[in-house]
Amino acid sequence: MEEFESRFSGFSFDGEGVILDPNGQRLCLFGMLDFERFWSAFDAFSPAPLGRKLLYAVADAEEFILLNGGFDTGSWLKRRKLKRSLAERNLGMGWGLMGGGAVRFPAHDVVSVGVALAQHEHVSKQRWKVNWAQQNSDFIALEFIPQDRVIPPARAVRPPNWGTVDIGPTSSTSVPFDADVRDNGFFFGQQRSFFLPVSVFHRLYVELNGRPLNVEASDGASIEVNLDENALLFRCVVLAAKRMFEQGEFPVFVLQADDWMGVLGQRISKFGLGAVEVLSSRLDGDFSTSFRIHSPLPGITTGLVFAMWERCFGQRGHTTVMIGDHSVEVTVAKPALEY
């Protein structure tokens, strides 16, 4: 119990869709297999691999947090303390053990390498390029190459106007985090899991704004969204999250409208992906359900809601997305035409 409390000391879990790290940064939670499924689906929408885009989004998000979160560098003694603080952070976040030119027990190769790059630069006060070779699932060898060019420090970014919310905990008390702590990480549910700052996705979205994406491989999923800008990117995020859910085995049993809240809480709110209200639900005849999403990552949450509805009713759905200022309304219904 002591190890558990120490591992997640300073983290905040309100049980209603908000997870914060000790620096007040909003987090989301992924199982390693789930993230791999999400990323594989999302990467497939791009004509060119996006691995380096993700790496630098992770590195910039981590750099910004380190520069603004009290992770000071300075004297030799301060650097020793800093390295201990970073090791504790990596363990609590589930990213693996870093040092000695390697990552041991990585969460996800690109994510863990991006974190390692940011932390190496922060400690050394120098810019580096990183190459890596994953020798097995538990070991990544790193090669850092000095960079001469000046790269300005990472700055805060604004997420796309997708009805994103970024609120603090809705409850003054933190609920228990039901994780199974291991020496080199932790399990949440059936998967080894890790936290990721939501700003990683915001940085990735900004970088991909306007870039070509191929949504032809969407398996005929039907989505309408009231966006002029970034509509294609939003659809790709929704579809990647939908595929991630479809490849898992999370059960969705809804016998009455109130049952939705328990299901949504288990798969969305507990993972830091916000809160979802059920506005209306028709459970017989022309199945139709309307949701209101309050999420820091509304594209991912929308994709999960869409996939959960289809699993619940055992049929394809048509999704209509109305993006507001601080929320997203999603209606999933049986399509007018069968596909």
> pLDDT tens digit string along 39-85?
999 999 999 999 999 999 999 999 999 998 777 766 555 778 888 99
For residue 77, the model assigns a pLDDT of 52
**Within this chain, do residues 226 and 189 fall inside the same structural domain, yes or no?**
no
Query: Quick check: pTM over 0.85?
Result: yes
Look at the chain and report how many structural domains it folds into: 2
Q: In the predicted model, what is the mean pLDDT of residues 278-304? A: 89
Residue with tokens 């932790």: 186
Q: In the predicted model, what is the mean pLDDT of residues 160-171? A: 74
Contact between 274 and 268 under an 8 Å Cβ cutoff? The reply is: yes
Answer whether residue 203 is part of any domain.
no
Answer whether residue 10 is part of any domain.
no
**Within this chain, do residues 142 and 246 fall inside the same structural domain, yes or no?**
no
- Given pLDDT bands bounded at 50, 70 and 90, which one contains residue 337? low
Distance CA 226, CA 245 (A): 24
**Within this chain, do residues 264 and 316 fall inside the same structural domain, yes or no?**
yes
From 163, 198, 233, give the residue that closes a domain: 198
- Given pLDDT bands bounded at 50, 70 and 90, which one contains residue 3? low
From 171, 198, 225, give the residue that closes a domain: 198
pLDDT at residue 339 is higher than 50:
no
**Within this chain, do residues 189 and 63 fall inside the same structural domain, yes or no?**
yes
Domain of 131: which CATH number? 3.30.1380
For residue 272, the model assigns a pLDDT of 94
Distance CA 281, CA 273 (A): 22
Distance CA 140, CA 110 (A): 10
Write out pLDDT tens, residues 101-113. Answer: 999 999 999 999 9
Answer whether residue 250 is part of any domain.
yes
State the DSSP string of 102-139: EEES-SSHHHHHHHHHHHHHHHHTS-EEEEEEEEETTE
**Within this chain, do residues 188 and 240 fall inside the same structural domain, yes or no?**
no
Distance CA 239, CA 303 (A): 6
For residue 171, the model assigns a pLDDT of 57
Mean pLDDT of the chain: 88
pLDDT at residue 163 is higher than 80:
yes
Q: In the predicted model, what is the mean pLDDT of residues 76-103? A: 88
**Within this chain, do residues 188 and 246 fall inside the same structural domain, yes or no?**
no
Distance CA 119, CA 128 (A): 11
Answer whether residue 119 is part of any domain.
yes
Domain enclosing residue 236, as ranges: 217-333
**Within this chain, do residues 222 and 249 fall inside the same structural domain, yes or no?**
yes
Q: In the predicted model, what is the mean pLDDT of residues 211-221? A: 71
Which residues, 6+ apart, have CB-to-CB distance to 338 below 8 Å? none
For residue 74, the model assigns a pLDDT of 61
More confident residue, 286 or 92: 92
pLDDT at residue 334 is higher than 50:
yes
**Within this chain, do residues 61 and 140 fall inside the same structural domain, yes or no?**
yes
The top-scoring range by mean pLDDT among 5-9, 13-17, 218-222 is 13-17
